Amino acid sequence: MPEFTLGQKVIGGPRLHRKHKRDRRKEWVIYDFDKKLIEGIFIGFRTYANGVADYVEDVGTIFIPDERFRVALIVPHTRANPVPVMYETVKTSVCNTGKEK
């Protein structure tokens, strides 16, 4: 996997969304209507998980992950929230000279 530096211009996507299913399952999915690429500044990565939220009487609600994956956070502009995208889809953006970094 390529490593990116903080503040590097990148392009990646599509955007991930959290989906809650009836069987208490929570997943990160890509919706069909939102397949565009996101161009912006790389600000870091996280490890996201899909799994089941279960209720235990003595403890409360607990989340039991069954799949983990790496997600890159990209900020499209200064007044936007970070956009989570799959880390494998992120590439360096073309700089002003037209050459890829």
pLDDT in tens, 43-97: 999 999 999 999 999 999 999 999 999 999 999 998 999 999 999 999 998 654 4
1 within a domain of the structure (yes/no) = no
Residue 101: band (very low, low, confident or very high) from pLDDT cuts 50, 70, 90? very low
97 within a domain of the structure (yes/no) = no
Q: pTM of the full predicted structure? A: 0.82
Residue 90, classified by CB atoms within 10 Å of its CB into exposed (0-12), middle (13-18) or buried (19+), is buried
Q: How many domains does the chain have?
A: 1
Residue 73 · residue 87 · CB < 8 Å = no
pLDDT above 50: residue 6: yes
Print the domain residue range for 53: 9-92
28 within a domain of the structure (yes/no) = yes
pLDDT above 50: residue 28: yes
100 within a domain of the structure (yes/no) = no
15 within a domain of the structure (yes/no) = yes
Residue 25 · residue 51 · CB < 8 Å = yes
